[in-house]
């Protein structure tokens, strides 16, 4: 996964970029240098509003918290490529997910998610969808719009009807 820094058209690999905690990110003089931010294991019930100053976030980890509502404000991160909301208490994914058009990996395992919105069809770059251990009983028909890009869907430990299993 490539990061476009916007500085002189510079391009580099996202996995080589420093991962910031919220504390270390807030110490940066230039918030635009924060591409990867982790907020995992902080017992958060909501996303700290301070993160929205980091407009270049492309990899956001908010796993292992106590968040119940998917923060639609995340759609402010127009270049977001990897979003990890795993191991929270999230029950639904809003239609705004479809606004994250650069998303390549959506990791939402071990929540309480019951459905995925049809707007997932707009994530034309999505390669990996992790729904492991949720309560999703079906996928929207619109996910078929991603057949040329979506490489893997992890739906382990999900109970669904035989009919839905065949549809998928």
pLDDT tens string 104-139: 999 999 999 999 999 999 999 999 999 999 999 888
Distance between CA atoms of residues 102 and 167, nearest Å: 27
Q: Taking residues 140-166, report their average pLDDT.
A: 87
Residue 6 has pLDDT above 70, yes or no: no
* pLDDT on residue 137: 80
């Amino acid at each position: 996964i490539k990061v476009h820094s916007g500085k002189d058209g510079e391009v580099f690999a996202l996995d080589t970029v420093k991962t910031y905690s919220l504390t270390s990110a807030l110490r940066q003089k230039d918030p635009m240098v924060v591409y990867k931010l982790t907020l995992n294991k902080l017992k958060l019930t909501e996303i700290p509003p301070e993160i929205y100053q980091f407009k270049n976030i492309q990899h956001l980890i908010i796993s292992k918290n106590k968040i119940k509502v998917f923060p639609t404000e995340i759609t402010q991160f127009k270049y977001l490529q990897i979003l990890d909301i795993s191991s929270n208490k999230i029950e639904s994914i809003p239609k705004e997910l479809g606004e994250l058009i650069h998303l390549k990996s959506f990791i939402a395992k071990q929540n309480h998610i019951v459905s995925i919105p049809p707007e997932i069809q707009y994530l034309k770059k999505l390669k990996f969808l992790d729904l492991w251990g949720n309560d999703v009983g079906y996928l929207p028909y619109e996910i078929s719009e991603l057949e040329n890009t979506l490489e893997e869907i992890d739906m382990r430990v999900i109970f669904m009807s035989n009919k839905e299993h065949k549809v998928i």
